[in-house]
Amino acid sequence: QAQLVESGGGLVQPGGSLRLSCNASRIVFGLYTMGWYRQAPGKQRQLVASIRNDEFMYYADSVKGRFTISRDNAKKMVYLQINNLTPEDTAVYYCNAKWNSRDFWGQGTQVTVSS
């Protein structure tokens, strides 16, 4: 069974930055599209960024210019650099791996933006 483990969340002031990391194991990482989703209290989980195995990247409009996704296939890692955080970015951030019918999730890491 695949395992995705997120890290890097925390409490940050508005305007601050965080780098989230996701360590994948038990998958052929290079095949997968890796994504970061977030779920705020009372809201649906939404895709914020993804990166395919050909390095094609997608960003939700709400995060363009502030979020950067990247991957390291050798280390089986995917990262999300988040800059200029606002309280609206407060959510649990989940790592996701997709390939064909396979779809795996991490447990999530909390990001809280507050002064």
Instruction: Give the pLDDT of residue 81.
Output: 98
Listed as ranges, residues in the chain with pLDDT below 70 are none
Residue pair 107/5 in contact by the 8 Å Cβ criterion: yes
Exposure of 36 in the CB half-sphere (CA atoms within 13 A): 34
Task: Give the per-residue pLDDT at 1.
Answer: 85
Pseudo-torsion of CA 44, 94, 79, 23, nearest 10°? -160
Give the DSSP letter string of 15-79: T--EEEEEEEESS-GGG-EEEEEEE-TTS--EEEEEE-TT--EEE-GGGTTTEEEEEETTTTEEE
What is the amino acid identity at position 81?
Q
pLDDT at 19: 98
Residue where the block lists tokens 């390095």: 55
**Partners of 96 in the β-ladder:** 35, 105
Token pair of 85 as six digits: 């955080």
